[in-house]
Structure 1
């Protein structure tokens, strides 16, 4: 009997342990099922959020792309307008430079005619003074040369330079002659050479003044 009684508690203890294990195993199963369900829900939710995020990203990219394309088109338009304005300004400057050249060429023509007139007067004055200083030439020859010079300076160019009064002053006051054996026409006369230098300076000044006036007119 003692052996029977001794074995009894061990058997109950084993059964009690087995009975206590069954609820613990069910809880573990439920817990694992819950985790699996949560994992499925989380995976579905995560995929949905990922898709939502991807859609938002695609939308943002498309919006940014559209904005960049619009800015690029506007930039091209602005550059095109700027290029057109620059071309217009360049064309205006080219036309202005061309007018400058034409103005200066016109003044060069005036300068050539003025210096040509001056060269003619220099030759005639030397001849006139040579006759004045000569004992063999007639007075009428000198007067004829003087009349021709006065006629020449009454042309528009001569009037512009005011040469007639200067010539008359030379005719009346220049009596300088070199010695009787002189053959160099440039040694005769005194006042005439002063006037010739003055006329050349006057022509140079007039050329600059005329060019500046024309350029000022073109610039405005």
Structure 2
């Protein structure tokens, strides 16, 4: 009986070789397809990881940029405020120092005068010492010890001198020192602001 149409029939001879060859070919195709699928899945996973990392990095950089902008704006406002305070202090301190200079010159003129009584210096000296405690500008520039040293200065220009500003030596030295303090304190206000906003290395590394 011819059983060629029997599905359970095992291939024999050449038919068997073709059958196994077909199985091997199918297995190879399935293996390649499987590898392609795995490669595709791995590639998609790597792309997703890289996309996530890039998004996170860009987000951090954007946050750092915003932070730097805010710090820059704050620093600018602080600098403007410090500049205004410096101008205000400079104006007030110069005015106070001008008054002190006039009173010191007047006091030294009395000391060097042949006609004025030297006791008239005492009210002026007491007034000057009191100003150091009451004037907010002089309190940052002048000390009572400085004034007492000036009061000891007995230098007078020639007896016939009529220009009071030529009398005394110490007061002119101290006045120059106080003027320097005014300029220095004006700059110090701006330097204090700049120290608060030092560059952060983390901004550069990111």
TM-score in same-fold range (> 0.5): yes
Identify the structure with bigger relative contact order (alpha carbons < 8 Å, sequence gap 6+): 2
Which of the two has greater helix per residue? 1
Q: Deviations over 1:45-104 (max 9, x none)?
A: 243123202320231132113202320231133213321441354245325533652464
- Alignment coverage as a number of residue pairs: 185
Q: Which residue of 2 aligns with 1:24?
A: none
Question: Are residue 75 (structure 1) and residue 53 (structure 2) matched?
Answer: yes
What secondary structure sits across from 2:71 in the alignment?
A: helix
Q: Do the aligned residues in 2 keep the contact of 1:107 with 1:207 (CA within 8 Å)?
A: yes
Gaps of 5+ in 2: 1-11, 199-206
**RMSD (CA atoms):** 4.4
Q: Do the aligned residues in 2 keep the contact of 1:133 with 1:177 (CA within 8 Å)?
A: yes
Gaps of 5+ in 1: 1-32
Q: Do the aligned residues in 1 keep the contact of 2:109 with 2:167 (CA within 8 Å)?
A: yes
Q: Which residue of 1 aligns with 2:174?
A: 195
TM-score, scaled relative to structure 2: 0.59
> Match for 1:157 among 137, 140, 148?
137
Q: Do the aligned residues in 1 keep the contact of 2:146 with 2:174 (CA within 8 Å)?
A: yes
- Cα distance in 1 for partners of 2:61, 2:111 equals 72
Q: Larger Cα Rg: Structure 1 or Structure 2?
A: 1
Question: Are residue 58 (structure 1) and residue 17 (structure 2) matched?
Answer: no
Q: Deviations over 1:111-163 (max 9, x none)?
A: 44324432443344335534654568899x98997788678653222234455
- Cα distance in 2 for partners of 1:135, 1:146 equals 19
